[in-house]
Chains A and B, each alone.
Chain A
Amino acid sequence: MPASPELPAVGPASALGARTGVDLARTADRLRLLALEMIAKAGSGHPGGSFSAAEIVAALFFRVMRHDPKRPEWPARDRFILSKGHAAPILYAALAEAGYIERGELDTLRRVGSRLQGHPSVRDLPYVEASTGSLGQGLSVAAGLALGARMDGADVRVFALLGDGECQEGQVWEAAMFAAHHRLSNLVAIVDRNAFQLDGPTEAIVALEPLAAKWRAFGWDVVEVDGHDAEAVAAALDVPRPDGRRAARPRAVVARTVKGRGVSFMEGQNEFHGRAPTPEELERARAEIVARLGEAGVRRA
């Protein structure tokens, strides 16, 4: 475990989940800071959709999911798939914060020879279940995992984080139909509803609303939540573990978020969908996050 001594212990204390003592809001900001710095170092990447998902990822990794950084392939681990693969920096930040990878490795993002590919690669990284980045594919893979778990009677839940623009992909709804038909109650889809896609607002390009109603119509148990209220997100994601009942439905959590959340000049500014901050922007962004966390809470290892 590479956690530095001056950092508060926000990584999973044990393999058994339910780490109620973790301050998820602070953890989300720490993930933002790591993501910001790795994108700046790489010179490219996607800050907007990484920041909108910070509380969701923090809630999953440090509260909801049962996993053990010492055993990345632990069979009983809950599974996570970042279907919106362009938010890889926030995933890599969580992997480092949890102790799956060294924090120093984050500096290799997008470099030749690095395990930290521009979009996540299952062959390269621990606790990654699917190679993503071609939008629309993650929920199907997650449903396959959930199906396998149920076939083997495994007490495992599967979480897939989707972008909202991603929901324009037809495959998402193919997977939604299949999962509902097979009553995959061990499957949770989270939609990061930040209202923007690369070229602009989703509602101006191909409207998604009423998005929650669509998931409901596809047979899912839908919860809408403020995606930046980490405790509320954690509560929405924490579906009951499989208990053999076949009547239950898969859950969709529509998390209302703000793209670029956490850095004032990035919030709702779609130019930060896919570009790195300039050195000056990096310092301003860093200062904002540091002001919330306090300098002692953010020192790098």
Chain B
Amino acid sequence: MSRPLGPATREAYGQELLALGRERPEIVVLDGDLSKSTMTKHFAEAFPERFFNAGIAEADMVGLAAGLARWGKLPFVSSFAAFLMSKAFDQMRISVAYAGLPVKFVGSHGGISLGEDGVSQMSVEDVALARALPGFAVFVPADAEETRRAVRAAADWPGPAFVRVGRPKAPVVYEGGCPFQPGRALRIREGRDVTLAANGLMLAAALDAADRLASEGVSARVLDLCSVKPLDEDEVVRAARETGAIVVAEEHLLAGGLGSAVAMAVAAEEPVPMAFVGLADTFAESGRPEELMQKYGLTAERIAAEARRLLRRRARA
């Protein structure tokens, strides 16, 4: 049932940034000594005069980007998501968000699927941190095609934006193009009995879970919530009303991420039973990506199991 693997979302980012660089001369790129991993190297090779390696100094890098944006450039800033959001959070808060400057952050190696390098390199709180910054848009694309759209949307977004991309090859979700827009959920599978809402690598897992549930006679709707912020509250509430149960899945801590965002919208407008697939209050560890996803419960099996649990609960009610 699994989908074929496509390019890593970080590779799609690197290619789209290069394309944007050709179209928009105001784009400048900063990287914190990880350009070969974040894939800003493609831009750096094509436009060396518009690329600045800030060295291993994330706080300064974000401040430099704020100054370049105030000057009139359109800066893209990249590092591992962990180092970008955690090390330079205060600079994003004051130099960028409070100043209202259109600096675009693309954090790679999001989640635990970067694998062997382990906990210090993993970012499982980046979405929560980025969501907490006023004016920030937050996108977590699922595959290469959606990444291209999300990176372009980030460039066009009037304020600051954070896009999370990943290290491993990503299962292909969108074969014939992706209609991603900020603030729009994408209903990529119709269903009546339960909704599976996800983004990033967990979107392909949610589709697989829907296949499993279908073989058991359960009709699962699947929502792509790449746009964590702004969130498509109307579509989320519609899913609650029409399917009566929601499972949210994310490669992130449960605290403050996509699940929290969806739960707020649902609780305020259309309370229904919900379940959350993500990392509990824990750090992960080194290991092969697929083994880690298994061990920490970031799988189609787990999403399907949570959906069944919600349906049993509803049947008892």
Residues of A bordering B, CB below 8 Å: 121-123, 129-134, 136-149, 151-152, 170-171, 174-175, 177-178, 182
17 A-B interface contacts by CB (under 8 A)? A122-B99, A131-B95, A136-B59, A137-B91, A140-B66, A140-B67, A143-B67, A144-B70, A144-B71, A145-B68, A147-B71, A148-B72, A151-B73, A171-B60, A174-B59, A175-B63, A177-B60
Residues in B with CB closer than 8 Å to A147 are 52, 64, 67-68, 71
Supply 13 further A-B pairs (C-beta < 8 A) apart from A140-B63, A141-B67, A182-B52.
Answer: A121-B99, A122-B70, A130-B99, A131-B94, A137-B90, A139-B63, A141-B63, A143-B60, A144-B63, A148-B68, A171-B91, A174-B60, A175-B64
Task: State how many angstroms separate the Cβ of A121 from the closest Cβ of chain B.
Answer: 7
CB-defined contacts of B28 to chain A, threshold 8 Å: 151
Interface: B23 (CB within 8 A): no
Q: Which of A121, A151, A177, A182 has the most CB of B within 10 A?
A: A151
**B100 touches A (CB below 8 Å):** yes
Which A residues lie within 8 Å of B72 (CB)? 148, 152
Contacts of A141 in B (CB 8 A): 63-64, 66-67, 70, 95
CA distance A146 to B63 in the complex (A): 12
Q: Could you list which residues of chain B lie within 8 angstroms of chain A, going by C-beta atoms?
A: 28, 49-50, 52, 54-55, 57, 59-73, 90-91, 93-95, 98-100
Chain A neighbourhood of B67, CB < 8 A = 129-130, 140-148
Point out the residues of chain A lying under 8 angstroms from B49, CB to CB. 151
A174–B33 Cα distance when bound, in Å, is 14
Q: Once the chains are docked, how many angstroms separate the CA of A35 from the CA of B297? A: 59
Point out the residues of chain A lying under 8 angstroms from B94, CB to CB.
Answer: 131-134, 137
Q: Is the CB of B55 within 8 A of A171?
A: no
Chain B residues with CB under 8 A of A138:
63
* Cβ–Cβ < 8 Å partners of B99 in chain A: 121-123, 130-131
Contact A178 B68 (CB under 8 A): no
Q: Which residue of A lies closest to B98 (CB)?
A: A131
Query: Are the CB atoms of A148 and B59 closer together than 8 Å?
Result: no
Q: Which of B55, B71, B90 contacts A145 (CB 8 A)?
A: B71
CB-defined contacts of A170 to chain B, threshold 8 Å: 59
4 cross-chain pairs, A with B, having the tightest CB-CB distances, nearest first? A144-B67, A140-B63, A148-B71, A174-B60
A172 to chain B, nearest CB (A): 9
